[in-house]
Amino acid sequence: MKKLGFICSAILCVAFACSSPAVDGTSENTVEIRSSTPRPTFRVELSTTPTPPMETPTLQSLVCSPLGGETLQELTEIITQPFKTPRATQDDGHHGVDFAFYRRKELMSIDGLPILSTLDGKVVTIISDKYPYGNAIIIETQLDSLSPDLIEKIRIPEVQPTVAPDPKFNWTPGEFSMKLDTSKKSLYIVYAHLKYPAEVSVNDFIKCGQRIGQVGSTGDSTNPHLHFETRIGPSGASFDSMAYYTAQSTASERYNYVIWRVTNLFQLFDPMQLLSVDG
Ligand SMILES: [Zn+2]
Protein backbone atom coordinates (compact mmCIF):
# COMPACT_ATOMS: atom_id res chain seq x y z
CA MET A 1 0.00 0.00 0.00
CA LYS A 2 2.93 2.34 0.62
CA LYS A 3 4.02 2.09 -2.98
CA LEU A 4 0.50 2.63 -4.21
CA GLY A 5 0.14 5.57 -1.89
CA PHE A 6 3.26 7.10 -3.37
CA ILE A 7 2.05 6.62 -6.92
CA CYS A 8 -1.21 8.24 -6.06
CA SER A 9 0.22 11.12 -4.06
CA ALA A 10 -0.59 13.67 -6.75
CA ILE A 11 -3.95 12.29 -7.74
CA LEU A 12 -7.18 11.11 -6.27
CA CYS A 13 -6.80 7.42 -5.75
CA VAL A 14 -9.30 4.99 -4.34
CA ALA A 15 -7.61 1.73 -3.46
CA PHE A 16 -8.73 -1.45 -1.77
CA ALA A 17 -6.97 -2.30 1.47
CA CYS A 18 -8.72 -5.60 2.09
CA SER A 19 -5.84 -7.27 3.93
CA SER A 20 -5.05 -4.37 6.25
CA PRO A 21 -6.88 -4.26 9.56
CA ALA A 22 -6.43 -0.50 9.54
CA VAL A 23 -5.00 2.11 7.21
CA ASP A 24 -2.33 3.99 9.12
CA GLY A 25 -0.37 7.09 8.24
CA THR A 26 -3.57 9.05 7.81
CA SER A 27 -2.73 12.69 7.34
CA GLU A 28 -4.89 15.71 6.78
CA ASN A 29 -4.51 15.03 3.06
CA THR A 30 -5.86 11.54 3.28
CA VAL A 31 -9.53 10.80 3.44
CA GLU A 32 -10.17 7.37 4.81
CA ILE A 33 -13.28 5.62 3.65
CA ARG A 34 -14.58 2.81 5.80
CA SER A 35 -17.68 0.84 5.22
CA SER A 36 -19.34 -1.50 7.62
CA THR A 37 -18.21 -5.08 7.22
CA PRO A 38 -18.26 -7.17 5.11
CA ARG A 39 -17.54 -4.50 2.54
CA PRO A 40 -13.88 -3.74 1.84
CA THR A 41 -12.13 -0.75 3.30
CA PHE A 42 -10.44 1.62 0.92
CA ARG A 43 -9.03 5.07 1.07
CA VAL A 44 -8.81 8.16 -1.05
CA GLU A 45 -5.60 10.13 -1.25
CA LEU A 46 -5.80 13.70 -2.36
CA SER A 47 -3.23 16.14 -3.58
CA THR A 48 -2.59 19.56 -2.13
CA THR A 49 -1.55 20.94 -5.50
CA PRO A 50 -2.74 24.50 -5.13
CA THR A 51 -5.27 25.71 -7.64
CA PRO A 52 -4.83 29.31 -8.71
CA PRO A 53 -7.32 31.74 -7.25
CA MET A 54 -10.23 32.57 -9.48
CA GLU A 55 -10.38 35.92 -11.18
CA THR A 56 -12.67 37.61 -8.71
CA PRO A 57 -11.21 40.94 -7.64
CA THR A 58 -13.79 41.46 -4.90
CA LEU A 59 -15.56 38.87 -2.79
CA GLN A 60 -18.91 37.81 -4.21
CA SER A 61 -21.95 38.79 -2.22
CA LEU A 62 -24.52 38.46 -5.00
CA VAL A 63 -26.67 35.46 -5.93
CA CYS A 64 -28.42 35.56 -9.32
CA SER A 65 -31.58 33.73 -10.35
CA PRO A 66 -30.75 30.75 -12.59
CA LEU A 67 -33.77 31.38 -14.82
CA GLY A 68 -34.33 34.31 -17.17
CA GLY A 69 -37.45 36.33 -16.34
CA GLU A 70 -37.80 34.81 -12.85
CA THR A 71 -36.52 36.52 -9.72
CA LEU A 72 -34.98 34.57 -6.84
CA GLN A 73 -38.14 35.23 -4.85
CA GLU A 74 -40.35 33.83 -7.62
CA LEU A 75 -38.46 30.54 -7.83
CA THR A 76 -40.43 29.02 -4.96
CA GLU A 77 -43.58 29.32 -7.11
CA ILE A 78 -42.20 27.01 -9.80
CA ILE A 79 -40.58 24.19 -7.81
CA THR A 80 -41.94 20.93 -9.20
CA GLN A 81 -39.69 18.61 -7.19
CA PRO A 82 -37.84 19.69 -4.05
CA PHE A 83 -34.48 18.45 -2.81
CA LYS A 84 -34.55 15.16 -0.92
CA THR A 85 -31.47 13.90 0.92
CA PRO A 86 -30.34 10.49 -0.34
CA ARG A 87 -29.55 7.66 2.07
CA ALA A 88 -25.85 7.14 2.82
CA THR A 89 -24.16 4.81 0.30
CA GLN A 90 -27.25 5.00 -1.95
CA ASP A 91 -28.10 7.04 -5.02
CA ASP A 92 -31.73 7.74 -4.15
CA GLY A 93 -33.52 10.87 -2.94
CA HIS A 94 -33.48 13.89 -5.24
CA HIS A 95 -30.08 15.52 -5.53
CA GLY A 96 -31.31 18.93 -6.61
CA VAL A 97 -34.36 21.09 -7.00
CA ASP A 98 -36.46 21.08 -10.18
CA PHE A 99 -38.06 24.15 -11.68
CA ALA A 100 -40.75 24.01 -14.37
CA PHE A 101 -43.97 25.71 -15.41
CA TYR A 102 -46.71 25.89 -18.02
CA ARG A 103 -48.63 29.06 -18.88
CA ARG A 104 -46.76 31.49 -16.71
CA LYS A 105 -46.53 35.21 -17.39
CA GLU A 106 -46.51 35.48 -21.20
CA LEU A 107 -44.97 32.04 -21.78
CA MET A 108 -46.69 28.75 -22.61
CA SER A 109 -43.88 26.68 -21.10
CA ILE A 110 -40.45 26.87 -19.50
CA ASP A 111 -39.03 25.10 -22.58
CA GLY A 112 -36.19 27.16 -24.04
CA LEU A 113 -36.05 29.68 -21.17
CA PRO A 114 -32.51 31.07 -20.72
CA ILE A 115 -30.49 29.47 -17.91
CA LEU A 116 -28.22 31.91 -16.09
CA SER A 117 -25.26 31.32 -13.81
CA THR A 118 -26.12 31.80 -10.15
CA LEU A 119 -22.60 32.82 -9.11
CA ASP A 120 -19.32 33.88 -10.69
CA GLY A 121 -17.31 30.76 -11.37
CA LYS A 122 -15.47 28.54 -13.79
CA VAL A 123 -16.94 25.90 -16.08
CA VAL A 124 -15.28 22.64 -15.00
CA THR A 125 -17.45 19.94 -16.58
CA ILE A 126 -19.66 19.65 -19.63
CA ILE A 127 -21.87 16.60 -19.99
CA SER A 128 -23.26 15.84 -23.43
CA ASP A 129 -26.59 14.07 -23.42
CA LYS A 130 -25.82 11.37 -20.83
CA TYR A 131 -28.21 9.65 -18.43
CA PRO A 132 -29.43 11.10 -16.07
CA TYR A 133 -28.24 14.71 -16.45
CA GLY A 134 -28.69 14.99 -20.23
CA ASN A 135 -26.88 18.06 -21.51
CA ALA A 136 -25.41 19.60 -18.37
CA ILE A 137 -22.84 22.08 -17.09
CA ILE A 138 -20.97 22.11 -13.77
CA ILE A 139 -19.61 25.48 -12.60
CA GLU A 140 -17.12 25.73 -9.72
CA THR A 141 -16.94 28.68 -7.34
CA GLN A 142 -14.19 28.62 -4.74
CA LEU A 143 -15.58 29.30 -1.27
CA ASP A 144 -12.83 31.81 -0.57
CA SER A 145 -14.22 33.95 -3.41
CA LEU A 146 -17.51 34.37 -1.51
CA SER A 147 -18.02 37.03 1.13
CA PRO A 148 -18.23 35.71 4.72
CA ASP A 149 -21.68 37.28 4.89
CA LEU A 150 -22.88 35.26 1.90
CA ILE A 151 -21.33 32.03 3.22
CA GLU A 152 -23.18 32.54 6.48
CA LYS A 153 -26.48 33.20 4.69
CA ILE A 154 -26.13 30.07 2.54
CA ARG A 155 -25.50 27.96 5.67
CA ILE A 156 -22.97 25.82 3.83
CA PRO A 157 -22.91 22.39 5.48
CA GLU A 158 -20.02 20.62 7.13
CA VAL A 159 -18.68 18.02 4.75
CA GLN A 160 -19.66 14.58 6.01
CA PRO A 161 -17.24 11.64 6.02
CA THR A 162 -16.87 9.89 2.71
CA VAL A 163 -18.69 6.59 2.39
CA ALA A 164 -18.16 3.42 0.39
CA PRO A 165 -20.92 3.21 -2.20
CA ASP A 166 -23.26 0.26 -2.09
CA PRO A 167 -21.72 -2.66 -4.03
CA LYS A 168 -24.61 -2.58 -6.48
CA PHE A 169 -22.95 0.40 -8.17
CA ASN A 170 -21.02 -0.90 -11.08
CA TRP A 171 -17.64 0.77 -10.68
CA THR A 172 -14.08 -0.12 -9.72
CA PRO A 173 -12.42 1.90 -6.94
CA GLY A 174 -8.99 3.16 -7.94
CA GLU A 175 -9.53 2.57 -11.63
CA PHE A 176 -9.31 6.22 -12.62
CA SER A 177 -7.68 9.30 -11.19
CA MET A 178 -8.61 12.89 -10.65
CA LYS A 179 -6.61 15.97 -9.65
CA LEU A 180 -8.02 17.80 -6.67
CA ASP A 181 -6.88 20.54 -4.32
CA THR A 182 -7.80 19.54 -0.77
CA SER A 183 -6.40 22.75 0.70
CA LYS A 184 -9.49 24.59 -0.57
CA LYS A 185 -13.19 23.94 -0.86
CA SER A 186 -15.48 24.92 -3.69
CA LEU A 187 -19.17 25.15 -4.34
CA TYR A 188 -20.15 23.18 -7.45
CA ILE A 189 -23.45 23.84 -9.23
CA VAL A 190 -24.98 21.48 -11.81
CA TYR A 191 -27.41 22.87 -14.39
CA ALA A 192 -28.99 19.82 -16.01
CA HIS A 193 -31.33 18.69 -18.83
CA LEU A 194 -30.32 21.60 -21.09
CA LYS A 195 -32.07 21.74 -24.44
CA TYR A 196 -28.91 22.02 -26.53
CA PRO A 197 -25.22 21.17 -26.10
CA ALA A 198 -23.40 23.64 -23.86
CA GLU A 199 -23.01 27.23 -25.03
CA VAL A 200 -19.88 27.54 -22.89
CA SER A 201 -16.56 25.66 -22.72
CA VAL A 202 -14.55 24.04 -19.94
CA ASN A 203 -12.32 26.65 -18.23
CA ASP A 204 -14.55 29.58 -19.26
CA PHE A 205 -15.04 32.10 -16.46
CA ILE A 206 -18.72 32.91 -16.05
CA LYS A 207 -20.30 35.89 -14.31
CA CYS A 208 -23.36 35.87 -12.08
CA GLY A 209 -26.41 36.27 -14.35
CA GLN A 210 -24.55 35.26 -17.52
CA ARG A 211 -26.50 33.03 -19.90
CA ILE A 212 -25.12 29.49 -20.15
CA GLY A 213 -27.90 27.56 -21.93
CA GLN A 214 -31.62 26.95 -22.31
CA VAL A 215 -34.10 24.82 -20.38
CA GLY A 216 -34.79 21.50 -22.06
CA SER A 217 -35.68 17.90 -21.37
CA THR A 218 -32.54 15.87 -22.18
CA GLY A 219 -31.43 12.90 -20.07
CA ASP A 220 -33.74 11.51 -17.38
CA SER A 221 -36.55 13.98 -17.96
CA THR A 222 -40.05 13.68 -19.31
CA ASN A 223 -40.93 17.37 -19.38
CA PRO A 224 -38.78 20.47 -19.82
CA HIS A 225 -37.33 21.59 -16.48
CA LEU A 226 -34.15 22.84 -14.87
CA HIS A 227 -32.51 20.46 -12.39
CA PHE A 228 -30.30 22.64 -10.15
CA GLU A 229 -27.86 20.80 -7.85
CA THR A 230 -25.32 22.11 -5.32
CA ARG A 231 -22.36 20.39 -3.67
CA ILE A 232 -19.33 21.33 -1.59
CA GLY A 233 -16.08 19.54 -2.34
CA PRO A 234 -12.34 19.87 -2.79
CA SER A 235 -11.38 22.54 -5.32
CA GLY A 236 -10.12 21.78 -8.80
CA ALA A 237 -12.48 18.93 -9.68
CA SER A 238 -13.29 18.36 -13.33
CA PHE A 239 -15.01 15.42 -14.98
CA ASP A 240 -14.67 14.45 -18.64
CA SER A 241 -18.22 13.18 -18.47
CA MET A 242 -20.37 11.15 -16.09
CA ALA A 243 -23.23 8.73 -16.50
CA TYR A 244 -25.26 6.15 -14.67
CA TYR A 245 -24.68 2.50 -15.44
CA THR A 246 -26.26 1.78 -18.82
CA ALA A 247 -25.28 -0.26 -21.83
CA GLN A 248 -23.98 2.94 -23.39
CA SER A 249 -21.97 4.39 -20.48
CA THR A 250 -18.22 3.88 -20.24
CA ALA A 251 -16.35 2.68 -17.13
CA SER A 252 -14.89 6.18 -16.74
CA GLU A 253 -18.33 7.80 -16.88
CA ARG A 254 -19.69 5.39 -14.26
CA TYR A 255 -16.68 5.97 -12.01
CA ASN A 256 -17.12 9.75 -12.17
CA TYR A 257 -20.83 9.38 -11.53
CA VAL A 258 -20.32 7.34 -8.35
CA ILE A 259 -17.55 9.62 -7.02
CA TRP A 260 -19.77 12.64 -7.67
CA ARG A 261 -23.06 11.32 -6.33
CA VAL A 262 -22.51 8.54 -3.82
CA THR A 263 -19.20 8.91 -1.92
CA ASN A 264 -19.88 12.22 -0.11
CA LEU A 265 -16.56 13.54 -1.40
CA PHE A 266 -18.81 16.17 -2.96
CA GLN A 267 -21.23 16.97 -0.16
CA LEU A 268 -24.78 17.51 -1.34
CA PHE A 269 -27.02 20.17 0.19
CA ASP A 270 -30.41 21.72 -0.50
CA PRO A 271 -29.96 24.26 -3.32
CA MET A 272 -32.69 26.45 -1.82
CA GLN A 273 -30.19 27.35 0.92
CA LEU A 274 -28.35 29.22 -1.82
CA LEU A 275 -31.35 30.36 -3.85
CA SER A 276 -33.23 31.73 -0.83
CA VAL A 277 -30.52 34.33 -0.30
CA ASP A 278 -31.71 37.73 -1.49
CA GLY A 279 -29.89 38.75 -4.63
ZN1 LIG B 1 -34.15 16.95 -10.63
What residue ranges do the domains of the chain occupy? Answer: 73-158+178-275
pLDDT at 4: 39
Dist CA 231 CA 68 (whole Å): 23
Q: Which of the four pLDDT bands, split at 50, 70 and 90, describes residue 160? A: confident
pLDDT at 112: 98
How much distance in Å is there from the Cα of 227 to the middle of ligand 1?
4
Nearest to 267 by CA among 242, 230, 231: 231
How much distance in Å is there from the Cα of 266 to the middle of ligand 1?
17
Q: Which of the four pLDDT bands, split at 50, 70 and 90, describes residue 246? A: confident
How much distance in Å is there from the Cα of 2 to the middle of ligand 1?
41
How much distance in Å is there from the Cα of 221 to the middle of ligand 1?
8
Instruction: Please state, rounded to an integer, the average pLDDT across all residues of the chain.
Output: 85
How much distance in Å is there from the Cα of 53 to the middle of ligand 1?
31
How much distance in Å is there from the Cα of 51 to the middle of ligand 1?
30
pLDDT at 279: 56
How much distance in Å is there from the Cα of 228 to the middle of ligand 1?
7
Contact by Cβ (8 Å): 188, 138 = yes
Contact by Cβ (8 Å): 88, 163 = yes
Summarised one tens digit per residue, pLDDT across range 59-114 is: 999 999 999 999 999 999 999 999 999 999 999 999 999 999 999 999 999 999 99
CATH number assigned to the domain with residue range 73-158+178-275, chosen from the 4 options 2.60.120.650, 1.10.3720.10, 2.40.33.20, 2.70.70.10: 2.70.70.10
Dist CA 71 CA 217 (whole Å): 22
How much distance in Å is there from the Cα of 80 to the middle of ligand 1?
9
Among 28-32, 87-91, 200-204, 226-230, whose mean pLDDT is lowest? 28-32
Contact by Cβ (8 Å): 170, 25 = no
Summarised one tens digit per residue, pLDDT across range 18-68 is: 333 333 333 444 444 444 433 434 455 565 566 776 665 689 999 999 999
